[in-house]
Copies of this chain bind each other. A is one copy, B any other.
Amino acid sequence: MAPLSKTFHEAETLYRRIQSDLIARYESIDGGRFDMDAWDRPGGGGGLTRVLSDGAVFEKAAVNVSAVQGPAPKKLTEHLGVEASWFGATGVSLILHPRNPYIPTMHANLRYFETDTGTAWCGGGADLTPYYYFDQDAFHFHRTLSEACQRHEAGDYQRWKTTCDEYFWLPHRGESRGIGGIFFDHETDVNSMLALQSDLGSAIADAYLPIVDRHKESPYGEAQERWQHQRRGRYVEFNLIHDRGTKFGLQTDGRTESILVSLPPRVRFDYNAVPSPGSPEQELIDVLTSPPRIWVT
């Protein structure tokens, strides 16, 4: 059994701390509690999946940490284009599906990967999927992430914002999943990246929780909820058809329930549901089908 590096253990410790900190902040705004579900990976390692179901603010929320290691499967080395016989991967990922349709869904993850042949990199990102569009939310979200990136040598908000826009494009719908954020991968300046990820650990909450606060008491009815459920359908389409992490996790016998915990709780697939012209629903579609906006210059 190849030893994991000191950096691997630092990264895992960081992600576990971020998991605890974020859960404390989410529980404080929701009032509910996250369940604990610890699991082992047959090949080596394991994780802690923490889920809040049917909360007052979050209909479904999950913050997961995993730290796995083992002989590098052929699928993995081919996929990554590296030569290695052993790998270690650790990360924290989160998904927040709020109940109120005026609050956007948020997703983020922070990851570290290494092999026994000296490859080591960080990946991750954070992005926002609104059901109704508000300028103020989009600016605040992007500005907060941008500021965290600027505080570190390895941070590159503009490039990561573009990568995010490209990644979250749903080709068969001709629209974006949401209004983006940042997305980075294979970042090899690991020391600077871990410091940045530590900072992002709190920025992820700072970027989102004020938006939750702003909308959590907004009144809504069945029509807004139906729209939210239909849009969640697009989220499902993205995750099951395109999301690399989901695909890769399922193909490499990852823990299915922890991978698919990202799927929204209640979803609708209605045939040809099209909002009426000039409606707030259509305004969102206009944003998602237009070229990505510049939120922070």
Contacts and interface: CB of A to CB of B under 8 A. Distances in A.
Interface of A: 37, 49, 51, 53, 60, 62, 172-173, 229, 233, 236-237, 240-241, 250, 253, 256-257, 260-261, 263-272
Integer count of this chain's copies in the complex = 2
B268 A265 contact: yes
Nearest to A172: B250
A233 B271 contact: no
27 contacts: A37-B272, A49-B271, A53-B271, A60-B269, A60-B271, A172-B250, A172-B253, A172-B256, A229-B266, A236-B236, A236-B240, A236-B267, A236-B269, A237-B240, A240-B240, A241-B241, A241-B250, A257-B272, A260-B269, A263-B269, A264-B269, A265-B269, A265-B270, A266-B266, A266-B267, A267-B267, A267-B269
A269 to B, nearest CB: 4
A257 B250 CA distance: 26
Contacts of A37: 272
Given A236-B267, A237-B260, 8 more contacts: A37-B272, A51-B272, A60-B271, A62-B271, A236-B269, A257-B272, A265-B268, A265-B269
